[in-house]
Amino acid sequence: MNNTLTQEALQKIGMQLQQLRHEKGLKLDTVAHEVGIARTVLSRIENGRYPSLKVSSLLCLAEYYGVAANNLL
């Protein structure tokens, strides 16, 4: 996979996570605290600017929002 596809995938995941958060009316701080990641990290994930997104973080966020992780990919 080249860097362009990786960046596109990260941006898609981030946009979906941000959309889920907005649909549920949640604040960035709230989600970050409840999932156990730093607010700045969650912000960067949602903006597609976190190149080292861990599968465990993605799974935690998917579970928090009640969606299957593969739907975010």
Q: What is d(CA 30, CA 10) in angstroms, rounded to the nearest whole number?
A: 22
Q: What is the mean pLDDT of residues 33-54?
A: 93
Q: Given this model, what pLDDT does residue 19 score?
A: 97
CATH number of the domain enclosing 11 = 1.10.260.40
Domain membership of residue 12 as a residue range: 3-72
**Residue 71: pLDDT over 50:** yes
Q: What is the mean pLDDT of residues 3-20?
A: 85
pTM above 0.85, yes or no: yes
Query: What is the average pLDDT value for the chain, to the nearest integer?
Result: 90
Neighbours of 53 (CB within 10 A): 18
Q: What is d(CA 19, CA 37) in angstroms, rounded to the nearest whole number?
A: 18
Q: How many domains does the chain have?
A: 1
Instruction: Output the six-digit token pair for 46.
Output: 């949602």
Q: Given this model, what pLDDT does residue 6 score?
A: 83
Nearest in space to 35 (alpha carbons), one of 54, 11, 49: 54
What percent of the chain has a predicted confidence (pLDDT) above 70?
93
